[in-house]
Amino acid sequence: MVPQTPQELRATARRIRRRDLQAVFEAGAGHIGGEMSVIDLLTALYFNVLNVDPQAPRDPGRDRLVLSKGHTACALYVTLAERGFIPRDEIATFLKPMSRLNGHPDRNKVPGVETNTGPLGHGLPVAVGMATAAKLDQASWRTFVITGDGEMQEGSNWEAIMAAAQFRLDNLTLIIDHNRLQQGARLAETNALAPFAPKLAAFGWTVLEIDGHDMDQILAALSPDRVVADRPTCIVAHTNKGQGISFMADRVEWHHKVPSAEQYEQALAELAEVVS
């Protein structure tokens, strides 16, 4: 696949947002807020960065992407469908009985999914194992993992952060989707981890801070040129929950609320209007 330009990526992300919104509306469930915050990152990865092949989803030399914030599975499914891993029509089955498209991703059902996530704090340790495997083989494939910022409250992430630095996994990139909100509150009200950058730096990681909705900044941060030898990379992506939909943006209640018919029409219209 020819990598998309930032202009093309913005259009793709807009299409993915609209399809994700429709899927959540029709299913009557989902995690719309966190999906809107992560879609630009997923789009940049799948349409510009990742060396993956929908025809060979388990190619040993593929890059790995772990969506540790597995509750935003719908955004991953739509992205995988756009990229050709599953039929686009299948998105209509999201959450339906016996659908492959569960509320959290299942690698044994959905091609392109690398590990089953859902409980938080699982993706980064698994990604450490992936990156270690590549190192053992002296292979060049890269491992990327996206966590939520609230998810960073899970202690398992910090076990993995220590290990990644100790193992000098410069082939591992952690992207924190820093939308400042968790399921029931603002991070600042529960366990205010921010700022993330000095904490990751203290653990020996290279840290980049970007606007997680700016394609140019996302691509620049994901470039192999930014990797510092022997150090894992953390990208703190400043994002907005509900990005692109005015009445959802930065509102805690839109973690997993479902829009009414009226709100759905408004949201669709807003996503159509967005000018890249």
Partner 1 sequence: MSGAAISKDPSAVRGPAPKLHDCRDAFTATLVALAEADCNIVAVCNDSVGSSKLNGFRDRFPERLINVGIAEQNLVGTGAGLANGGKIPFVCGASCFLTGRALEQIKADVAYSKTNVKLCGISSGMAYGELGPTHHSIEDFAWIRALPNVPIIAPADRIETAAATAWAAAHDGPVFLRLSRVGVPDLLPEGHVFELGRANLLRDGTDLTIIANGTLTHRAMTAAAMLAERGLSARVVNMATVRPIDEAVVVAAARQTGAILTCEEHTVFGGLGSAVAEVVVQKAPVPMALLGVPGEFAPTGSAEWLLDHYGLSPEGIAASAEALVKRKV
Ranges within 57-96 binding partner 1 (CB under 8 A): 60, 64
207 forms part of the interface with partner 1 (CB under 8 A): no
- Of 75, 222, 78, 221, which Cα lies nearest the Cα of 143? 222
The alpha carbon of residue 215 and the mean position of all alpha carbons in its chain are separated, in whole angstroms, by 14
CB of 182 to partner 1, least distance (A): 19
R_g of the chain computed on alpha carbons: 17
When binding is defined by CB under 8 A, the residue of 156, 183, 263, 266 that contacts partner 1 is 156
Closest CB to partner 1 among 13 and 126?
A: 126
Q: How far is CA 151 from CA 47, 119, 218, in A?
A: 26, 9, 21
When binding is defined by CB under 8 A, the residue of 8, 53, 90, 106 that contacts partner 1 is 106
Closest CB to partner 1 among 55 and 108?
A: 108
Tell me the per-residue interface mask from 158 to 187 with partner 1, x by CB under 8 A, - otherwise: -xx-xx--xx--------------------
Residue 158 DSSP symbol: H
Residues contacting 170, CB < 8 A, separation 6+? 227, 228, 229, 230, 231, 232, 233
Neighbours of 30 (CB within 10 A): 25
When binding is defined by CB under 8 A, the residue of 84, 118, 203, 211 that contacts partner 1 is 118
Closest CB to partner 1 among 22 and 116?
A: 116
When binding is defined by CB under 8 A, the residue of 50, 130, 152, 222 that contacts partner 1 is 130
What the block records as the tokens of 170 is: 């410069």
Closest CB to partner 1 among 166 and 260?
A: 166
250 forms part of the interface with partner 1 (CB under 8 A): no
When binding is defined by CB under 8 A, the residue of 116, 153, 183, 266 that contacts partner 1 is 116
- Residue that is written with structure tokens 């924190």 in the block: 176
# residues near partner 1 by CB under 8 A: 35
122 forms part of the interface with partner 1 (CB under 8 A): yes
Q: Are the C-beta atoms of residues 99 and 93 closer than 8 Å to each other?
A: yes
CB of 57 to partner 1, least distance (A): 12
Report residue 61: phi and psi, to 5°.
-90, 10
When binding is defined by CB under 8 A, the residue of 23, 38, 131, 165 that contacts partner 1 is 131
- Of 170, 194, 190, 114, which Cα lies nearest the Cα of 146? 114
Any idea how long the chain is? 276
51 forms part of the interface with partner 1 (CB under 8 A): no
Separation between Cα atoms, residue 38 and residue 189, nearest integer Å: 22
Task: Please give the span between the terminal C-alpha atoms of the chain, in angstroms, as a whole number.
Answer: 22
When binding is defined by CB under 8 A, the residue of 4, 115, 217, 239 that contacts partner 1 is 115
Chain contacts with partner 1 (rule: CB under 8 A): 60, 64, 106-108, 114-119, 121-122, 124-134, 136-137, 143, 155-156, 159-160, 162-163, 166-167
